[in-house]
Structure 1
Amino acid sequence: MDRIDVNRADAAELAGIPGITEALADAIVAARAAAPLTGVRDLAALPGITVDQLVTLAEHVHFADPRAATTALPPGRSLVQGRVVDLTNGRAVEGATVVVYVATTPSPTSGDFTPLVGVTTERAGYFQFLRPTTGFTAANAAVTVNGVHRVPIRLADPDPATGTGLLPERLVLVVEPAKDPLYSSGCGCEDLTFSARGEVLEEFSYFTVVRTTDPEITPLVLAESPSVTLDEVAGLSPILEHELLKGVKGIGQLWSAGRPPGADAGAGDAAVLKKMSVSRSALEHVLTTRGRIDGESVEPILHVDAAQKIKGLLKPTKKPAPGRVDLTADTAIDWDASPTLYQATTLAFGHVLHLSHEWSSDGYSLGDLLYSLPLAPGQKKQVVMVDWERRESAANVQSQDYQESLDNALSRDRDVNEIAKGSVSERSRGGSESNVWG
């Protein structure tokens, strides 16, 4: 039994194997297009293949590289193995006709070329033919892909003495797309260099600052607002003066006995008002709490002011850092009511960098590019894309209901009453009488 080459047989040949479906044959052809199948393991990876089909294929096919020779070659001969690639769509071409032309005259013209061999490309664009042993001065190939394309062939092993060379054993024929006459002549665009590289399209320029040194800094503590004397409050209104003078009576004696710095022991109530200094926050607290300042407010003001001073004594004092230091538990950021601000005392040095980006052409092509947006580093641009879509739908619903019902009821009642009565009477009478006379 002759085995079928799984890398060369078409789908019809594969489907002719018993148990092999057309879908599996198409899957084998599609799989070997990506890479030649090398063994049963590659067949087992095909989707949907069963164990029976795998066993059948192993009995009826063999594996050979389509790019390798499948027949015995004469001694000293080799094959020209080639492939056709179409740049129009970037893929290999199957079923294309390749005719190789050769010339044997020096500096040949178009009339000096004669056809040597003609082949048809197989799947993935591969072809092969027996390599001639004679040398040629020039060679080219005519490939039929959307027309006839002439592709030059570079000869191998050139002989300087005779100026001839052999056809290469590996040959790749690249078919380039034909130029549209609309863009090649008669349009006034002959001077446009669509394939030129290095042309600057756009240029983006911007500046940035890089600091190389840090300035020296000095801490600045925002102190609490200064205190105010009760005399300043009394001077705002005669009523406040009268009430505050009334409120300091008796407190003035304690104030004089304590003799704070600058206070006279026999100072009067007016002198006590001038010497009695309280914090603005204490005055604001009492005003907010009581809603007014009168003679009875003096003592609460003094109590609040004293409490604030005691809290200040009990609060741990932290000296601000004299300059730049690392953040630690001892040098934390000051978030309290009196934050520490730092101001620069020296100049910082750095560089102003001028960055320039040039976008140059890397070649043009008439393809399907819809929009190109070059962006420089750090640049941001909003792009709006409008897409239009139209959908139509139709629906036809038909419904038919049929219902049939049959009810039958049969009822029969029968009552049988039988009354049997029997009466039996029996009477028996007997007697004996004897008369004897003598």
Structure 2
Amino acid sequence: MSHDHGPPPAASRHTRRIVTAVLVPAALATLAALILLWPGDVRAAPDPGGGQRALGTVTAVAEQACPAGARQQRCGSATVRVSQGPGAGTEQPVDLPQGPGTSALHVGDGVVLLYLTDAVPGGRAYAVVDRQRSTPMIWLIVLAVGVILAFGRWRGVTSLAGLAVSFALLLLFVVPAILEGSPPLLIAVVGASAIMFAALYLTHGVTVHTSVAVAGTLASLVLTGLLGALFTSLMQLSGLGSDDSSALAVTNSTLDLRGLLLAGIVIGALGVLDDVTVTQAVTVAELTPGATSRWELYRGAIRVGRAHVASAVNTIVLAYAGASLPLLLLIAASRAPVSELLTSEYLAQEILRSAVGTIGLVASVPITTALAALVAELRPATAAPEPRPGRHARRA
């Protein structure tokens, strides 16, 4: 969530006209693109195995020793009472889940089942595939919302509204449109622009200073997308840099994975850009009353921007590193040369994301600061009044 900068100084009518003339066409173009590219009814492909999802609760566990030489860690079966889905109200036997990362089942555990309609004769028709997590997740979300509202008050309400719009656009426009076969980079730019307009104006209000931040964010997003496309081509990345991408390539062969990589870069960069651009726009507005020239105003605001962007760059790099921590551990455990690891498809994608996102973030500071300084209303310097002669001054 962006910082609360307080009410900035009011802008003149001339400044409002300039900003409106620039942003209204951009907003209308974004709206028109949303309407033209809005996906139809995208239905998920049917599961070729015929599996159906069901929910249940473990009522009994019968664990036994595994045979000598067996790979699995736990052997035996459990009984699950199905509460939702195929076979609701019945008790079904299941094998204990196997594989790395699986935990032991206990009586009372809520589990997610996969009902196999074409099960092998003599085999189990149900299999445990996951745990039920809805209840703790709901409490976690309620706690997070409560903290935001308690601290942010009305600004917290508006930020949550912007967050809701962002998720709605991602789930209803960006993801279905990409699945439908639209160019992922174009969809990401349009979706990110719509999210930017909605989130910034809902969170910070419809002001000239927010509009300047919107313009700076939009310019930085375009720069990020262009750099991402250029270096994705130069580095010859295919987009198959993770198991998720490989799975998508198998299930949807028409999906543009390179465009999907670029779309992720653009949307990921938007999360940090809005905070930086709003800070710079309001900083310029606060410094305007004491500035004597636009260059002086720009220099003063850019000093604030350097301090802000120093911490923001660290934030964006650590965010990418945190999301890729398993990959970093896998690379650290590898015996391959460092030069080979750094140029591999897996790590090259993460370097691309971090580097391009950082460049777009740094560029947003001078871009937004310059735009804000250009539309700032500087007060003309007034000449100092001449001192009056004293009462006892000699007359000529």
Q: TM-score range by the shorter chain?
A: under 0.3
Q: Which has the larger radius of gyration?
A: 1
Higher strand share: 1
TM-score (norm 2): 0.20
Q: Structure 1-normalised TM-score?
A: 0.18
- Structure richer in helix, relative to its length: 2
